[in-house]
Amino acid sequence: MVARVRTVAFQGIEAVPVDVQVMIAPGKVNMHIVGLADKAVAESRERVQAALHASGLSMPSKKVTVNLAPADLPKEGSHYDLPIALGLMAALGAIPGDMLAGYVVLGELSLDGTIAAVAGALPAAIGANAEGKGLICPFACGPEAAWAGKDFDILAPRS
């Protein structure tokens, strides 16, 4: 099963849609992130694993592949942590995958599972609103995201 979560990449002040695809399959126990990711995105693997462990979930003893599509678009920053974690949780069956379909997600994870603020909440919110989707972002980013519009669903958890 492939779980999908929508997030964004930033090109200047524009938020470009990115599809986070997470697949769990038989194979060597490891987590690979592919799709033209920079160092901060590659380090998401460690933050996601630690945050899930702190939340009482364990990584599967299987091969986990995370694809950030489109593959030719550069992905930079730590805001991919939360969409990767939620995609992994959906692939594990810990949350229903379809509950994320109506949202764009961004946020950095701390090792203890809390969600840290990230730059770009307003452009992400504007992009999500234009797609007819809500936004899941860090609690500290909620007020900034609210500038995207009145009839717009924003979920801003702390952890």
Structural domains for the chain: 2-155 (3.30.230.10)
Residue type at 113? G
Q: Alpha-carbon distance 114 to 93, whole Å?
A: 21
Buried b (16+ CB within 10 A) or exposed e, 139-149: bebbebbbebe
**Within 10 Å of residue 70's Cβ, how many Cβ atoms?**
14
The secondary structure of residue 27, as a DSSP letter, is: S
pLDDT at residue 1 in the model: 80
Residue 3: CA count within 13 A, CB half-sphere:
26
Cβ atoms of 122 and 129 within 8 Å: the answer is no
Cβ atoms of 70 and 34 within 8 Å: the answer is no
Q: Alpha-carbon distance 144 to 72, whole Å?
A: 29
Q: Alpha-carbon distance 128 to 24, whole Å?
A: 27
pLDDT at residue 94 in the model: 94
Tokens of 148: 């995207």
Q: Alpha-carbon distance 64 to 32, whole Å?
A: 6
pLDDT at residue 150 in the model: 84
- pTM of the predicted model as reported, rounded to 2 decimal places: 0.96
Reply yes or no: is the peptide bond before residue 70 cis, omega within 30 of 0: yes
Using alpha carbons only, how large is the chain's radius of gyration in Å? 14
Q: Which residue has the tokens 């609210």?
A: 146
pLDDT at residue 108 in the model: 98
pLDDT tens for the chain, 159 residues: list them: 899 999 999 999 899 999 999 999 999 999 999 999 998 888 999 999 999 999 999 899 999 999 999 999 999 999 999 999 999 999 999 999 899 999 999 999 999 999 999 999 999 999 999 999 999 999 999 999 999 988 889 999 999
